[in-house]
Amino acid sequence: MGKAALHRVPWRGIILFLLPVCILYFLFFVYPLGFVFIIGCTQWNGVTAPQFIGLKNYIDLLQDPTFLLSVRNNFIWALSLGFGQIPLAALVAMILARKPRGWKFLRTMYFLPNVISQVAISMMWIAIYNAEYGALNKLLELMGYAQLARNWLGQIETALPAIILQQVLYIGYFMIIILAGAMAIPSSFYEAAEIDGASVVQQELYITLPLLRGILVTSMTLAMAYGLRHFEATFLMTAGGPANSTSVMGIQLFNNMSFLRYGRANAIGSALIVLGVLVIVVLRNTLGRSESISEVQQ
């Protein structure tokens, strides 16, 4: 009897616990998503009645070189964040987890850019990359590399890398997540390793990294999702230019909304979501499930 009670699924409790989240999720995700998918199959300017046109918006998108370029750029973003920002964030988190002098201060400082509005940060980078009075060109000139000076955000070859680089180096957001995980690892693990004569690097490689695997995969998934959704910094810094070379799906979506082409905008939104799900499925199958941390610890 007692055993049966333990194994019986407490449906009433589960429903009660899930209900609030489900209501909000339905209102703010499921219903709007239905809207996105349905409007994506219509032609609609927001004023007159929408007209159903099937998959025409999607066919048009596949023939639009700017959209295809945007998809490519989104993948570059996702890969740069997932495989550039996350390793850097993990590196810094692992150093800070050993509590070097001033680690509290550093942790706070690294996170600060997330508190400042993106408008201010983007404006600063525009000024740094400027061709006439930019700090980067001045620095290169001082170091004797004047021939490298250029209009960083105004050239097709450098604009995209320039925006991505400044974003990748803001590691604070993921560093905090990874640091929290790294600090949760009991210090006894390291003490034991220390006695066995393992070096710091060895300890990190063979103790910290495997234990952080779950959090790293989680962070990577999130980072790549952000890469696919990326909008704000590019919108503020180049608005997709020059010659659409830095455009991303978010910018195309936003632009089409301001052109009153809601059908097309929502088709882009749908495409973005579908691509995102695909990426996550692939990521899960290659890197393993994000739950693995519990298995490692047990």
- Restricted to residues 49-88, the positions that interact with other proteins (CB under 8 A) are none
Please give the Cα distance from 182 to 97 (Å, whole number): 6
Which residues between 238 and 277 bind other proteins (CB under 8 A)? 238-244, 249-250, 253-262, 265-266, 268-269, 272-273, 276-277
Among 67, 73, 229, 233, binds other proteins (CB under 8 A): 229
| Least distance between other proteins and beta carbon 84 (Å) | 14
Among 107, 140, 193, 287, binds other proteins (CB under 8 A): 107
| Least distance between other proteins and beta carbon 241 (Å) | 5
Q: Is the dihedral of CA 113, 116, 119, 125 positive or negative?
A: negative
DSSP 170: -
Which residues between 7 and 26 bind other proteins (CB under 8 A)? 9-11, 13-14, 17-18, 20-22, 24-25
Contact string (CB under 8 A) for other proteins, positions 158-197, x = contact: -x---------xxxxx--xx--x--xx-xx---------x
> Which of 109, 205 has the CB closer to other proteins?
109
Which residues between 116 and 155 bind other proteins (CB under 8 A)? 116-121, 123-124, 127, 130-135, 138, 151, 153-155
Residue 164 exposed, middle or buried by CB count within 10 Å (0-12, 13-18, 19+):
buried
- Per DSSP, the three-state class of 51 is strand
Among 55, 112, 192, 282, binds other proteins (CB under 8 A): 112
Query: Which tokens go with 174?
Result: 């993921």
* 7 Cβ contact list (under 8 Å, min separation 6): none
Among 1, 4, 54, 115, binds other proteins (CB under 8 A): 115
| Least distance between other proteins and beta carbon 163 (Å) | 11
> Which of 77, 170 has the CB closer to other proteins?
170
Q: Is the peptide bond before 242 cis (omega within 30 degrees of 0)?
A: yes
Ramachandran angles phi, psi of 43, nearest 5° = -110, 120
Query: Which tokens go with 109?
Result: 């400082």
Residue 275 exposed, middle or buried by CB count within 10 Å (0-12, 13-18, 19+):
middle
